[in-house]
Amino acid sequence: MNSDWDLAVVGAGVAGLTAARVAAEAGLRVVAYDRMTPGGQLVNLTTLHDVPEPGEVTSSAGLLGRLVAEAEAAGVTMSFAEVTRVRAGAAPRLETSEGEVGARAVVVATGLTAGRLGLPGEELLVGRGISTCAGCDGPLFRGRAVAVVGDDDWTAEEALELAEVATAVTVLVPGQPRWSGERVGRLAASARVEVLTGATVTALRGEGVLSGVVVATAGSERELAVDGLFPYVGRRGPGALVDGLPTDEAGRLRTEGGVRTAVPTVFVAGDARSAATGSVPSAGADGEAAGAAAVAMLRPAGGPGLRIVDPTFGVQPADSAAEAQAGGTADWSEVALFSNSKPNATELLRGVGERLQEHWELPELGFASKPNASAAADKDVIDWLSQRYKMVLVAVGD
Amino acid sequence: MELEKRGAVAPLLVTSTFLPLVEAQAKARRVTPRIVVVPHPVGGLNEAELAERIEAAAGALLPLADEARGSA
Ligand SMILES: Cc1cc2nc3c(=O)[nH]c(=O)nc-3n(C[C@H](O)[C@H](O)[C@H](O)COP(=O)(O)OP(=O)(O)OC[C@H]3O[C@@H](n4cnc5c(N)ncnc54)[C@H](O)[C@@H]3O)c2cc1C
């Protein structure tokens, strides 16, 4: 059976972008799928700690820009579709939200799902008090009390970031903390942070909006009044995405050493891999290894091989002209603002929008916003805005 | 960027730290967004500081918007 691609990479975070770049540089035809936008976790983080080396910090946006640019330059094709199933085997097939494709090899780099406690009513409170992005949603809790659930280095960093705005940050550690000694010191030095070990959240309080949690510690249970809850536990790997591959208890794919799985054509890189350490440098190293392993598997004879250049590279897909026509019948008096809901974003947009309103003598301005900063824009809202308005002024950043 | 792909003119007010991210995403999506860069950060500014940012952003946006309307 013919394959559409030499390598299909599922997930374009640090691991996926790196694997895709390495394979494309070796001359393979590579597609990288992402159901959202490239970057994965990096999109939610402002500052990366311990990157590139322990004790150092790096700008997340800068690193992401570089990873995407390098993958692009190497000839990786980015596809913004969700992969719903990988049928592993000698000639893998991928089911995606945009149809089925074949690839000679697959790298699974889907990362993990967002943290969850697994409690009744939890999903309804996401974006209404529950968040997993301190950088995005932290400012919403200025002057209020929040709780953070987790035990790793990144939980500690998120708690410290929240302590810059919240009045009180209670860190609920299910067992014992795994964070570094240096972070123990920084948490202890913050007057706003309290760490409770052996603490389990047993219930959520709040009608429509979170107002508190019930916390059980050895032998006792108590109510904790908080407006914000940031869970970094219960994150799940891609589980059943790939047919027939064994997973661990967190749904991460088990390997046979390194990034190789029991199926020779399927590799796994980054947080999705069982036993991954869960950091940007280790996701990058996994991506390098998975890209190189895919190249070695597809090019066993060695040598640089022929580089196949995609003749359509850089050409707009055929449907983009049709999409561009779909802008509705709005005229230039129809202008709207679309806020990302970060602090002051709406005020900035309204201020700039009013200037445009005066300048063009517009009767009114439309308005839409994301429910919270860490959520992706709702497809229906995008549909509505693009049908109803000629121009939409969008806020990005913080 | 999705809005531009669907035919709406969608200028982005981007804070400076997010510029590399937006540029990378635009490249990956093969679109050329209309960008107005606003110095980072915006959250936490007081009224006077925010008014300055609005002034500067409007100064960049209005010609860009006029051009988009003129060339339509
Ligand atoms: C709150 C927090 C703070 C952190 N801070 C740091 C830090 O300071 N320093 C550090 O080194 N590490 C940090 N980490 C860890 C680090 O961010 C991750 O280990 C790393 O980014 C994982 O990269 P990845 O490529 O494996 O997965 P991800 O970054 O999760 O990327 C996976 C991508 O796959 C896509 N995807 C998933 N499923 C599908 C599908 N079915 N089809 C298509 N696409 C799909 C997703 O949309 C996503 O873009 C932090 C993690 C968290 C949660």
**CB contacts, 8 Å: B62 with chain A:** 355-356, 359
**Token pair in block for residue A74:** 């190497």
ipTM: 0.94
Nearest to A351 by CA among B38, B23, B67: B38
What is the secondary structure of A186-226 as a DSSP string?
A: HHHH-TTEEEEES-EEEEEE-SSS--EEEEEETTEEEEEE-
Same domain membership, residue A376 and residue A323: yes
Contacts of A381 (CB under 8 A, 6+ apart): A338, A368, A370
How would you classify residue A306: left for phi > 0, otherwise alpha for psi between -120 and 50, otherwise beta?
beta
* Of A65, A360, A395, Cβ closest to residue B21: A65
| In a shared domain, residues A147 and A289 | no
**pLDDT at residue B46, as a whole number:** 87
The more confident residue out of B27 and A204 is A204
Task: Mark whether A94 and A71 lie in a shared domain.
Answer: yes
Examine the domain organization and report whether A268 and A342 are in the same domain. no
| Nearest by CB: A344 against B10, B18, B50 | B50
- At B72, the pLDDT band (50, 70, 90 cuts) reads low
- Measuring CA to CA, which residue among A392, A344, A342, A330 is closest to residue A367? A392
Structure tokens at A67: 């990873």
A222-255: pLDDT as tens digits? 999 999 999 999 999 999 899 989 999 999 999 9
Where residue A374 falls among pLDDT bands split at 50, 70, 90? low
Q: Give the whole-number percent of chain A exceeding pLDDT 70.
A: 90
pLDDT tens by residue, A6-58: 999 999 999 999 999 999 999 999 999 999 889 999 988 889 999 999 999 99
Q: Do A77 and A28 belong together in one domain? A: yes
Q: In terms of domains, do A316 and A388 share one? A: yes
Please check whether residues A126 and A195 belong to one and the same domain: yes
More confident residue, A302 or A340: A340
What is the residue-averaged pLDDT of chain A?
Answer: 89
What pLDDT digit, counting tens, does each position of A148-194 carry?
Answer: 999 999 999 999 999 999 999 999 999 999 999 999 999 999 999 99
* Residue type, position B17, single letter: T
pLDDT of A373 above 70: no
Give mean pLDDT, residues A262-280. Answer: 96
Q: Which of A43-47, A52-56, A213-217, A278-282 is least confident?
A: A43-47
* Minimum Cα–Cα distance from B11: chain A residue: A393
3-state secondary structure of B12: strand
Q: A384 or A270: whose pLDDT is higher?
A: A270
The SS3 call for residue A83 is: strand
What's the gap in Å between A223 CA and the centre of ligand 1?
32
Give the span between the Cα atoms of A392 and A383, in whole angstroms: 12
Ligand 1 center to residue A11 CA distance, Å?
Answer: 9
CATH code of the domain covering residue A209: 3.50.50.60
One domain for residues A323 and A246: no
Residues A167 and A92 in one domain: no
| DSSP per-residue letters across B26-44 | HHHTT----EEEEPSP-TT
Beta strand segments in chain B, E: 12-15, 35-38
pLDDT in tens, A125-149: 998 999 999 988 888 899 999 999 9
Together in a domain, A26 and A106 = yes
Q: Which of B9, B16, B71 to mutate to test the interface with A (most CBs of A within 10 A)?
A: B9
Strand A193-197 to strand A168-173: parallel, antiparallel, or no bridges (unpaired)?
parallel
Tell me, what's the pLDDT at B25?
76
Nearest to B3 among A68, A139, A386 (CB): A386
- The pLDDT assigned to B30 comes to 76
Question: What is the model's pLDDT at position A310?
Answer: 39
Segment A73-88 mean pLDDT = 93
Query: Is B53's Cβ below 8 Å from some Cβ in A?
Result: yes
Q: What's the pLDDT score for residue A314?
A: 39
Q: How many domains does chain A have?
A: 3
Max mean pLDDT range (A216-220, A279-283, B31-35): A279-283
Kindly report whether the peptide bond that precedes residue B39 is cis, defined as omega within 30 degrees of 0.
no
Model confidence band, residue A375 (pLDDT cutoffs 50, 70, 90):
low
Mean of pLDDT over chain B = 86
The two tokens of residue A158 are 């998120």
Residue A113 has pLDDT above 90, yes or no: yes
**pLDDT for residue A139:** 87
Residue A70 and residue A201 in one domain: no
Is pLDDT above 50 for A302? no
Q: Tell me how many degrees the CA angle A11-A289-A250 measures, rounded to the nearest 5.
A: 50
Chain B contact present for A395, CB below 8 A: yes
Q: Specify the ligand 1 atom closest to the Cα of A277.
A: 19
Ranges of beta strands (E only) in A193-344 are 193-197, 200-205, 212-217, 220-225, 228-231, 266-268, 335-339
Q: Do residues A33 and A86 share a domain?
A: yes
Boundaries of domain holding A39:
5-113+236-298
Q: For A355-367, how does the pLDDT look when each residue is reduced to its tens digit (9 = 90+)? A: 999 999 999 999 9
Pocket of ligand 1 (CB under 6 A): A 10-16, 33-36, 40-42, 45, 48-51, 82-83, 109-111, 154, 157-158, 270-271, 278-281, 283
Quick one: average pLDDT of B29-58?
A: 87
Measure in Å the smallest separation between the Cα of A344 and chain B Cα atoms: 5
Is the confidence at residue A326, as pLDDT, over 80?
A: no
